[in-house]
Structure 1
Amino acid sequence: MEPNKVQPEGGLNVTLTIRLLMHGKEVGSIIGKKGETVKKMREESGARINISEGNCPERIVTITGPTDAIFKAFAMIAYKFEEDIINSMSNSPATSKPPVTLRLVVPASQCGSLIGKGGSKIKEMRESTGAQVQVAGDMLPNSTERAVTISGTPEAIIQCVKQICVVMLESPPKGATIPYRPKPASTPVIFSGGQAYTIQGQYAIPHPDQLTKLHQLAMQQTPFTPLGQTTPAFPGTLLPLHYLVCTSWLDASPPASTHELTIPNDLIGCIIGRQGTKINEIRQMSGAQIKIANAMEGLSERQITITGTPANISLAQYLINAR
C-alpha cells in the first residue's frame, strides 16, 4: 500500500490508530450480546477494534486500520449510538432527539493543529460538517492526551472524524505521548490488623495491594504489637463489615515521626501538579503532612518534609516516587 495515496473520495489511504473514551454503558452497547456487535463491526469494517480491560467507569476503545476501515467502524459506532438514543426515547416523553456524542483521545501536541490559528480550523470543521467539536482545555489525568468531543448526527460525526484524521496525519504528535489510562472504580479501603480490605456491599474483602504491604511494613517498624493484629485476616476471608469496623479502631496508632527527602527542581512540578492538585492528592491518600521548602538560589534541589505515622510516611514516599 502506498502511503498517503489520495483516494477518489478525497481520503488518505494510510494506516491510523484512533482512541475513543467511552462509559461502561456505551462499551456494553458496542460489545453486544456475547460480543456479537463488536465481532460484526470488526468483520464489516476491516478495522481492528480493541477495548481496554478492567473494572473502570471509563474504557478506551482503540480502532486501527486503513483510513477507509476506520471510517466504516466509526459509522457503525455512531449509528449504533443513535439506535440506542432512539430506543431510550421510546420510554421517555422527550420530543427532541439528543445528538450522538463521541469522545476522541488525542495527544495534546496535536490539539493545536486541530484548533488552528485563532480557532480557525475547529471553526471550519464545525461549519463544513455541522458537528459540534470541543477540545478539552486540560489534559486527561496522568497523561499528555486531551479529550476531543464530537456531537451531532452520525453523518456529521463521520465527516468530522475524516477531517480530524487528515489533520492528525498532516501534523504527527511531537515528542513522547503518555497515553491516558482510565483508573479502576475506586472502592473504600479499611485497614485492620495490618491487612487492607475493600468494601463490597456488606462484606470486607482482603485487598492484597501495595497499600497493604506498606501498612504491614510500617507495623513491623513500630516498637509494639498493635492490638488489632488479633483480627483473623486469612487470604480469601470475607468479613462482615460491622465486625471489621468494630475491630479496626483497635489498630493502635504508632507515634508520629518526620522524614526528609530531596527532589530535583525540574521534577518538583510533577509532584505538586497544577495548582497543587497532585500534592494535595498525595496528602489525602497518605494521611501525612507534606511540606515543600521554597526554592533556594544556587540549589538544584528542594527539600520535602513528611510528618506522620510510619505507615503514612511509607505511603507518601511511595506515591511521591511513583510521580
Structure 2
Amino acid sequence: MDSSLVEGGLNVTLTIRLLMHGKVSVMACNSGARINISEGNCPERIITLAGPTTSIFKAFSMIIEKLEEDISTSMTNSTATSKPPVTMRLVVPASQCGSLIGKGGCKIKEIRESAGAQVQVAGDMLPNSTERAITVAGTPQSIIECVKQICVVMLESPPKGVTIPYRPKPSGSPVIFAGGQAYAVQGQHAIPQPDVSEGPSLTKLHQLAMQQSPFPIAHSNQGFQAGMDASAQTGSHELTIPNDLIGCIIGRQGAKINEIRQMSGAQIKIANPVEGSTDRQVTITGSHASISLAEYLINAR
C-alpha cells in the first residue's frame, strides 16, 4: 500500500466483503488478514477480509493475482484472441453507494479515471439484504487501486441505519423468518438455517421485527401450515408516503414492491393518488413480524 493512502487516513482496521463464484480456496492465508468464507452449498460465496489495511490489501492482491492466473490458464485452452479483464465484485451497504457515486456520478467517474478500471454500482439491492454489488474490472493493479479509493470513500461515509448483509442462498430454497430464526423451505419441511445475523445490528433488527415464537418444524404439509397459522396473528398498519417517493418503493414495473412483499411475507396495498394530496396511503397487512419487516424495507427504500 502506498504511503499517500496511509497519510490519507486509511491505515486503520478495515473489512472488505467480496462476492465470488465457484470453488473458493483461501489463497491469502499468509497476508496477516482475517479471512472468512461463507458456508453452504451455493454457487456464490462471500469472502470477508478483515484487519489492518496493509494486510487487507496484501490479501486482496493475492486473490486478484490468483484470478489473473486462472484467466491466463483458461486462455491456453481457448481459441479467444483477446484476454478478458479480471473482474471482482465487492458487497457494500446500499446506504454508502450514494457517496461512492457522487453528485451526478462525479465521484465514480473520478475513481474510474484515476484508477483506470471499470466500476459499476448495481442499481438494485442484493436479494434479502440492504447491500449492493459493485463490479470492478480491469488489470490487477487498476482493480487494487480502485478498491483502495472505494475504501477511502466508505471510511469517510459510514453506513447509515441497519445493514442486512447479503447471504448467498442455494437456488430454489425459499427462506422465511419467524422468531428471529431463518428457515429454508425444502419440500414439505422447514429447515432451521444458521443464524442470519452478522454483527449486533441485525440481531437487534430481528428482535424488533420478529417478536413472535418460531413455528414448529413440521413433517407434513398440514403440520407445516398449522405452524405458520399459529404464528401468523394478522393485523394491519398504515403508512403515508410522499408522492415523489412512491416511485422508489414501487420500482420499475412494480419490481421493488413485489420484492418487499416477497421478503416480508406481508400484503402491501398502495392507494390511488387523491386529488389535491401530496401523499399516498400504503396499507400493510400480515403478521406482526412481516408488517415490521415490510415497514423497515419500505423505509430503507
State if a TM-score over 0.5 links the two structures. yes
Query: Which residues in structure 2 correspond to 1:100-139 (within 5 Å)?
Result: 100-139=86-125
Q: Determine the structure 1 residue equivalent to 2:141.
A: 155
* Counterpart check, 1:23 vs 2:29: no
- Residue 110 of structure 1 aligns with an amino acid whose one-letter code is Q
TM-score normalised by the chain length of structure 1: 0.62
Task: Note if contact 2:128-2:263 (Cα within 8 Å) is conserved in structure 1.
Answer: no
Q: What one-letter code is carried by the residue in structure 2 that aligns with 1:23?
A: H
Q: Secondary structure at the match of 1:142?
A: coil
- CA RMSD in angstroms comes to 3.9
Work out the CA distance in 2 between the residues paired with 1:14 and 1:219: 50
CA distance in 1, matches of 2:141, 2:13: 22
Question: 2 CA distance for matches of 1:67 and 1:7?
Answer: 11
Letter in 2 for 1:99: P
- Tell me which residue corresponds to 1:277: 259
Cα separation, 2, equivalents of 1:218 and 1:61: 35
Cα deviation code 1:166-219 (max 9, x no counterpart): 11111111122111111123269xxxxxxxx968xxxxxx85637745723268
CA 1:207 to 1:267, structure 2 compared with 1: closer, same or farther past 3 Å? farther
Q: Displacement, 1:301?
A: 8.6
1:4-51 deviation line (CA, Å, top 9, x unaligned): xx97343321000010111124x2xxx1xxxxxx2x5121x1111110
**Percent identity at matched positions?**
59
Q: Is the 8 A contact 2:189 2:224 kept in 1?
A: no
Say if 1:280 and 1:98 are closer, same or farther in 2 by CA, change over 3 A.
Answer: same
- Mapped to 1, the partners of 2:41 and 2:72 lie a distance apart of 28
Q: Tell me what 1:14 maps to.
A: 12
> In 2 relative to 1, CA 10–92 (structure 1 residues): closer, same or farther, beyond 3 Å?
same
Given the superposition, is the C-alpha separation of residues 18 and 260 from structure 1 closer, same or farther in structure 2, using an over 3 Å criterion? closer
Aligned residue runs from structure 1 range 1-323, under 5 A: 8-11=3-6, 12-25=10-23, 27=24, 31=25, 38=26, 41-43=28-30, 45-186=31-172, 207=189, 209=191, 212-213=218-219, 215-217=221-223, 261-266=234-239, 274-279=256-261, 302=283, 304=285
Q: Check whether the contact 1:262–1:301 (CA below 8 A) recurs between aligned residues.
A: no
Q: Which residue of 2 aligns with 1:287?
A: none
Distance change in 2, residues 1:84/1:267 (3 Å)? farther
Q: Deviations over 1:152-179 (max 9, x none)?
A: 0001001111111111111111122111
* TM-score in terms of structure 2 length: 0.66
- Which amino acid counterpart does residue 221 of structure 2 have in structure 1? H
Map of 2:204 onto structure 1: none
Distance 1:83 1:22 in 2: 16
The amino acid of 1:20's aligned partner reads L
Name the CA distance, whole Å, in 1 between partners of 2:290 and 2:257. 18
Change (3 A) 1:24 1:267: farther
